[in-house]
Structure 1
Amino acid sequence: MANNNLSMKKFLLSSSSSLSLLSLLLLILITLSFKLSLIDCRNYEHSAAELSLTNQVVIQQRDCYPNETPIFVHTAASTSGKYFNRRQVIRRTWAREAYKYKMRILFVIGVPRDLSIERSLKAEADKNHDILQFNFIEDYYNLTLKAISLLKWSYRHCSNSPYMVKTDDDVVLNMPMLYQLVRQRKIPSGLTGLVMTTPANRENGHKWHMPEHLYPKDSYEFLAGFSYLLSMDKLKKFLKTIITYPGPILDIDDLFLTGIVADYGKIRRNNSFRFKFFCGTDVCTMETSLAMHACPSAKNSEYMYRFWKNADRLSCYRHFRLSRSYRRRRPRRSIDESSSSTSSITTISADQMIANYTDYLIDNHQLIGFKFRQP
Structure 2
Amino acid sequence: MRIKYIKYFLVALASSFCFVIFYSKLKDVARSQREMTEMSSVKTATPQQRVSTTVRKISNIMTPYKLTPFNISEGFRKDIPKNGAYWNRKLHSLLREFDNAVNQTRKDPRSRFRCRPESFELLQTNIQDLQSYPLLYMDFLNGMECRDPPILINQHSKCALKENDQIFLLFAIKSTSKHFERRQAIRETWGREGSYDNGVQVRTVFLLGRSSLDDPNLDKLVSLEAQQFQDLLVWDFQDSFYNLTLKEHVFFKWILDHCPSVSFIFKGDDDVFANTQAILNHLQSLDPAQASSLYTGQIIEKASPLRDSKIKYYVPQTFYEGPYPPYAGGGGFLFSGNLIPSLYHVSFYIPFFPIDDVYTGMCFKALGISSSIHGGFRTFDIREQDRENACVHKDLLLVHKRNPQQTMRLWRNMHSSMLTC
State the shift of 1:128 in Å: 0.7
Q: 1:90 aligns with which of 157, 168, 186?
A: 186
Distance in 2 separating the partners of 1:211 and 1:239:
27
Q: What's 1:289 paired with? A: 396
Equivalent position SS for 2:218: helix
Partner of 1:146: 247
- Output aligned runs, 1:1-375, within 5 Å: 39-43=134-138, 44-45=140-141, 47=143, 49-53=145-149, 56-61=150-155, 62-64=157-159, 65=161, 66-68=165-167, 69-78=169-178, 83-96=179-192, 98-101=193-196, 102-114=201-213, 116-186=217-287, 188=291, 189-197=293-301, 198-245=303-350, 248-258=351-361, 260-276=362-378, 277-278=381-382, 280-295=387-402, 297-310=403-416, 315=421
Query: 1:38 offset after TM fit, Å?
Result: 8.2
Residues 45, 251 of structure 1: alpha-carbon distance in 2 compared, 3 angstrom cutoff: farther
Asked if 2 retains the 8 angstrom alpha-carbon contact of 1:238 and 1:262, the reply is yes
Deviation of the 1:292 alpha carbon: 1.7
Q: CA RMSD in A?
A: 2.3
Shift in alpha-carbon separation, 1:300–1:283, aligned structure 2, 3 A: closer
User: Separation in 1 of the partners of 2:208 and 2:180?
Assistant: 12
Amino acid corresponding to residue 147 of structure 2 in structure 1: L
Q: Which has the higher contact order (CA 8 A, sep 6+)?
A: 2
Which entry has the higher C-alpha Rg, 1 or 2? 1
Query: CA–CA distance in 2 between the matches of 1:49 and 1:216?
Result: 20
1:288-326 residue CA offsets vs partner (Å, 9 max, x unmatched): 01122132x2212222222222276663xxxxxxxxxxx
Cα shift at 1:237: 1.3
Query: Higher strand proportion, which one?
Result: 1
SS at match of 2:375: coil
Instruction: Provide the rounded CA distance (Å) in 1 between the counterparts of 2:391 and 2:142.
Output: 42
Give CA deviations for 1:151-186 in whole Å, capped at 9, x if unaligned: 111122111111111111111111112223334445
Deviation sequence 1:114-162 (CA, Å, 0-9, x none): 5832111010010111111111111121111111111111122111111
Question: Where in structure 2 are there 5+ consecutive unaligned residues?
Answer: 1-130
Letter in 1 for 2:363: V
Tell whether the 8 Å contact from 1:70 to 1:158 is kept in structure 2 after alignment: no
Q: Give the SS at the match of 1:95.
A: coil
Letter in 2 for 1:72: A
Aligned amino acid, residue 307 of structure 1: N
Q: Which moved further from structure 2: 60-69 or 200-209?
A: 60-69
SS at match of 1:262: helix
Q: Which amino acid aligns with 1:58?
A: L
Change (3 A) 1:121 1:38: farther
Unaligned runs of 5+ in 1: 1-35, 316-375
SS in 1 for 2:212: coil
TM-score normalised by length of structure 2? 0.59
Query: What is the SS of the residue equivalent to 1:250?
Result: coil
The change in CA–CA distance for 1:74 and 1:41 in structure 2 (over 3 A counts) is: closer
Tell me the equivalent position of 2:25.
none
- Whichever residue aligns with residue 50 of structure 1, its letter is C
Deviation at 1:49, TM superposition (A): 4.5
